[in-house]
Structure 1
Amino acid sequence: MIQRDASTTSLWQANIEPFQPTLMADHTTTYDVIIAGGGITGLSTALLLQEAGKRCLLLEANNIGFGTTGGTTAHLNTIPDTSYDQITKNFSKEDAGLVRESVGAAIGLIQQNIERFSIDCGFDYTDAYLFAQDEQQTEALESIAKSAREQGINITMQDQLPVPFQFTKAYKITDQARLNPLAYIYGLARAFEQAGGVIVQHCRVMQIHNTTHIKVATSLGEFTGMNIVYATHVPPGINLVHLRCIPYRSYALAVRLADNAYPASLIYDMHEPYHYFRTQDVNGKKYLIAGGEDHQTGHQENTEQCFRNLEAFVREHFNVKSVDYKWSSQFYESADGLPYIGNLPGQPDNVYVATGFGGNGMVYSGVAAMLIRNIIMGKHRATEKLFDPSRIKPVAGFTNFVTHNADVVKLFFGKLLPAHKLTELAELAPGEAQVVNYEGHRVAMFKDEEGMLHAVNPVCTHMKCEVGWNSAERSWDCPCHGARFDADGKVLNTPADRDLEQLDISHDVKPVEVEEQGEV
């Protein structure tokens, strides 16, 4: 099993062993492109650039697949969450057509990679069903279907569903797909190395200095490159895309069915947030994968309830034998519904970003890989303008803003906190966490199952928002820009690039009260 940015375990991570790189990075080499992030976006981009003749280095802060790629439900759609009618309203009908072409090409790229490199990842084309259950949903569904049909998508009205749901109207969309995401990116990683690319795991990018070349400071020393691509959801530090992306958590279950009635298709309802279902064979077992219950990161007080709600919904409609896996994952919604792919605003032309994929990271990862490859190779396309992160004008003084990674004041540096006093303040049970006031300061505390307290400064090291506890994943989550930290304050998700300050706790015994005896 591999590690992921969560305490829950996904179906994918539980059924794969850690990737072992075969090539060593060279600190004296100037790489053409350094890619930060070992998920599907980073590996897809790295492989395309390496095969285009660029010398590439991929740096992953943990193990490849640690982030959302290890927690996705891996639907491959030609109808994105931001529908074509909405894209037409926000941009134009021509731009909606560009999105349609791009996502279709992205699925084609995945199929091509699987065939070229013989990647065994359970890839399969299948139909998708989208259905409404009331008048308002039906009206929205009709608009989605009409605009999809105008873009040449084969979408047809149906009088039956392959799942036991009541509906007012339903449509079938052909040529959708599914796969095992970690098995796929392992195939990309091997192909990348065979092409001469280098992967370094457990190497966090801390800071870059852009002079003649880019000097990339990491936890394993400095590397030099001509270009850098942030394939990390959102880049570390402070920049414009953080102000234009909203982080969300989404929840998933992998269940076994008692009646073996696994749907062969992808299924979506029209609730807000919507539910989604599909089937996948993993190591000879079939699983129904269900997802939903999305909410903004750090805005849900009881995240365990999200799992309970999702499980109750699944059990209401399917004959569940066992819930084998449950997990949550993070994604980012852009301000206008389309991803930001291209030059990172406020940075020189050789610094790139790919973010804001919403719930369509599987396909937009391919869109990003092809677009960034083309930009770096000097092959300009119409999609370059459409997905340009600078399509929203930077705020005044942004150049100075983006280069300044604000330091959080060290409120407790050198101070030893008494465990017995904090315990009295928080009254925590094992497995619980809370932010409390202590002598005019805020302290984020978690009590583990052994009764030991873990305390950190709750001020997020990104932009000084206060973190909140995620009980489902046992993490401190920032409600502002989605940075996440484990119970000891270690970074799990960017944009934070520094850990929360750990606070020293004296695990002492509470003093026994005695009568005053005068001076000694």
Structure 2
Amino acid sequence: MKISSADTSTMNSLKRDGVLSSPWQSSATAWAQRTGRENTAADRTWDVLIAGGGITGLTTALLLQEAGLACIIAEARHVGFGTTGGTTSHINTMLDTPYHTIENNFGTSGAKLVANAARMARDLIARNVSAYQIGCDFAYKDGVLFAQTEKEAGELEKIYQASLRAGVEVERTTSIPLPLDFVQAIQYRKQAQMHPIDYLHALADAFVKKGGVIIENARVEDAVRENDIHQVQTSGGLIRAQRLVYATHIPPGMNMLHLRCAPYRSYVLGAQLVDGDYPSELAYDMQDPYHYFRSHLLDGKPYLIFGGADHKTGHGDPRMAFQELEIYIRKHFQVASIDYRWSAQYFEPSDGLPYIGKLPGDEETYVATGFSGNGILFGSFSGLLLTDLILGKESPYEKLFSPSRIKPIAGFANFVKENADVAYRFVADRIAVERLDALVALAPETGAVVKYEDKQIAVYKSATGAVKALSPVCTHAGCIVVWNDAEKSWDCPCHGGRYDTNGQVLTGPPRKDLEVIPLA
């Protein structure tokens, strides 16, 4: 088995799990070790196999390699293909789950541990940037959270007081870095931002230089444990390892974490402004879903990076989400151009904290998921915690973030209610489908689930009018996929699996592609 060599002609247009490009793709520096290096993987047993070449996988692999273990990464596509390539890379000690909610669910001591975990992750990123001399535009910024109504101000006060109790560096402020009206604001010190793909490629370089191996185009297809060794079949061949880490957003197959995490999509615009009035700090409003703001200099051009309009995967209208963001940004900013539109996926945990640790019921298999909107931060922290667990070190964070934790909380009822339609999707969508007549009016580069001779098919019409037919049944749990007209993908509304127009898996948990249906 060999490391897959990337096509150097595509280096300036790095692919990710959607047709819409993020600014990080076009401006990323090349990964120096992508070509010209070959390693065999099948003729040995590795200490650790890490499935996934994103922020979680690369951070974990590098830390374990630094600790002296022999590690190999199996990446389904290429490094940075998944959510890391679409993140807006806010690095926060202010979290999507506010500290007063964490206090209610896990106690004051739990909130303090979470705050410390956030600082550790931020400091690890800063350490890597310094130790490996990574040119990824890493910069410390303050993060401003602001309320625009009296009701929001009451909630903001709870967040502020709980943040202080958790030991987070936060203070009141009378200004925000945006041309927006507000009634109250608080400022979190020493947040950060960076170019995520440049950082990720540098981690890959460091990992390989320390003896680690990365195999691209190697999706995990099956994994069994025999004689205390994981026998992992990938699309690139068999890999044997003593321990297995799923750094794949959500682990493949069927397990309890699919009932504890809900997939969401968030939408982002990259805009240039007429007046050059870009925010100097990170900023967030308190709407639901909230908007997030920052700026970044890309290829010498400043950009406002603005996002929001989140919705559960497969349940909202992506085009409407982008339209909502564009209306908002044009209302409040002097927009010269909107050069980028893209979206990314994250998983929302049922009780507010990520699941990091041993996969329940699966010996020597580790997972990290449920990062909410804090993927760069918790992906980095996962590397720290998983490294401790794999090395057999005691950690005060093990129980708090354990995937096996069962904790009835008030918020869980809302989570169950919100995701009650998962079971419904197994049956209802098989009936409520469009007629095949819709094919006549189907626009180019558009897809739809239609009914044909008592069968449902997922149909896509290409730009040239060619029709591709697929089974609409997700290969993970049998839900019916829906068409994402913005990213040109088939998305599962149950567990977040996504497929391209040819039916090939873009993101897990499914392992198998959609079935192709021949058309006469």
**SS in structure 1 of the partner of residue 257 of structure 2:** helix
**SS in structure 1 of the partner of residue 490 of structure 2:** strand
- Does residue 7 (structure 1) correspond to residue 19 (structure 2)? The answer is yes
- Maintained 8 Å contact 1:59/1:201: yes
CA distance in 2, matches of 1:206, 1:197: 22
Which residue of structure 2 aligns with residue 363 of structure 1? 377
- Maintained 8 Å contact 2:436/2:451: no
Which residue of structure 2 aligns with residue 87 of structure 1? 102
Which residue of structure 1 aligns with residue 115 of structure 2? 100
Shift of 1:393: 8.4
- Does residue 70 (structure 1) correspond to residue 85 (structure 2)? The answer is yes
Which residue of structure 1 aligns with residue 260 of structure 2? 244
CA distance in 1, matches of 2:71, 2:299: 33
Bigger mean CA deviation after superposition, 276-285 or 229-238: 276-285
CA distance in 2, matches of 1:18, 1:431: 31
- Does residue 313 (structure 1) correspond to residue 328 (structure 2)? The answer is yes
- Does residue 464 (structure 1) correspond to residue 478 (structure 2)? The answer is yes
**Aligned CA distance change for structure 1 residues 452 and 18 (closer, same or farther; 3 Å):** farther
CA distance in 1, matches of 2:483, 2:388: 41
**SS in structure 1 of the partner of residue 130 of structure 2:** helix
CA distance in 1, matches of 2:438, 2:497: 29
Shift of 1:427: 3.0
User: Match of 1:99, as an amino acid?
Assistant: V
- Maintained 8 Å contact 1:31/1:225: yes
| Number of residues of Structure 1 aligned to a counterpart in Structure 2 | 479
2:63 to 48, 53, 58: 48
User: Match of 2:64, as an amino acid?
Assistant: L
- Maintained 8 Å contact 1:251/1:294: yes
Which residue of structure 1 aligns with residue 8 of structure 2? none
User: Match of 2:43, as an amino acid?
Assistant: T
Which residue of structure 2 aligns with residue 25 of structure 1? 40
**Aligned CA distance change for structure 1 residues 424 and 117 (closer, same or farther; 3 Å):** closer
Which residue of structure 2 aligns with residue 233 of structure 1? 249
- Does residue 501 (structure 1) correspond to residue 500 (structure 2)? The answer is no
- Does residue 132 (structure 1) correspond to residue 153 (structure 2)? The answer is no
Bigger mean CA deviation after superposition, 127-136 or 39-48: 127-136
Relative to the length of structure 1, the TM-score reads 0.90
- Maintained 8 Å contact 1:132/1:269: yes
CA distance in 1, matches of 2:246, 2:304: 33
- 5 Å matches for 1:246-395? 246-300=262-316, 302-348=317-363, 350-392=364-406
**Aligned CA distance change for structure 1 residues 23 and 112 (closer, same or farther; 3 Å):** farther
Bigger mean CA deviation after superposition, 422-431 or 9-18: 422-431
CA distance in 2, matches of 1:487, 1:18: 28
Give unmatched runs, 5+ long, in structure 2. 1-12, 409-425, 427-434
Which residue of structure 2 aligns with residue 180 of structure 1? 195
- Maintained 8 Å contact 2:30/2:201: no
Which residue of structure 1 aligns with residue 231 of structure 2? 215
- Does residue 154 (structure 1) correspond to residue 169 (structure 2)? The answer is yes
Which residue of structure 2 aligns with residue 429 of structure 1? 443
**SS in structure 2 of the partner of residue 111 of structure 1:** helix
**Aligned CA distance change for structure 1 residues 425 and 473 (closer, same or farther; 3 Å):** closer
User: Match of 1:344, as an amino acid?
Assistant: L
Task: Provide runs of 4+ in structure 1 moved above 6 Å.
Answer: none
**Aligned CA distance change for structure 1 residues 393 and 24 (closer, same or farther; 3 Å):** farther
CA distance in 2, matches of 1:259, 1:272: 29
Pick the structure with greater CA Rg. 1
Shift of 1:161: 1.5
- Maintained 8 Å contact 1:60/1:201: yes
**SS in structure 1 of the partner of residue 160 of structure 2:** helix
User: Match of 1:249, as an amino acid?
Assistant: R
CA distance in 1, matches of 2:406, 2:476: 22
CA distance in 2, matches of 1:389, 1:292: 28
Give unmatched runs, 5+ long, in structure 1. 395-407, 409-420, 507-520
Give per-residue Cα distances to partners, 1:103-123, cap 9 Å, x unaligned. 101000000000000000000
- Maintained 8 Å contact 2:56/2:379: yes
CA distance in 2, matches of 1:199, 1:339: 26
Which residue of structure 2 aligns with residue 401 of structure 1? none
- Maintained 8 Å contact 2:78/2:216: yes
User: Match of 2:396, as an amino acid?
Assistant: A
**SS in structure 2 of the partner of residue 496 of structure 1:** coil
Give per-residue Cα distances to partners, 1:46-99, cap 9 Å, x unaligned. 000001010000111001000000000000000111111100101111011110
**SS in structure 2 of the partner of residue 353 of structure 1:** strand
- Maintained 8 Å contact 1:25/1:199: no
Shift of 1:154: 2.4
Bigger mean CA deviation after superposition, 287-296 or 159-168: 159-168
Which residue of structure 1 aligns with residue 459 of structure 2? 445
**SS in structure 2 of the partner of residue 224 of structure 1:** strand
CA distance in 1, matches of 2:174, 2:407: 47
Shift of 1:423: 5.8
2:181 to 149, 153, 166: 166
Identity %: 47
User: Match of 2:293, as an amino acid?
Assistant: F
User: Match of 1:380, as an amino acid?
Assistant: E
User: Match of 1:370, as an amino acid?
Assistant: L
Relative to the length of structure 2, the TM-score reads 0.90
CA distance in 2, matches of 1:258, 1:438: 51
**SS in structure 1 of the partner of residue 399 of structure 2:** helix
2:127 to 103, 107, 112: 112
CA distance in 2, matches of 1:311, 1:214: 48
Shift of 1:314: 1.0
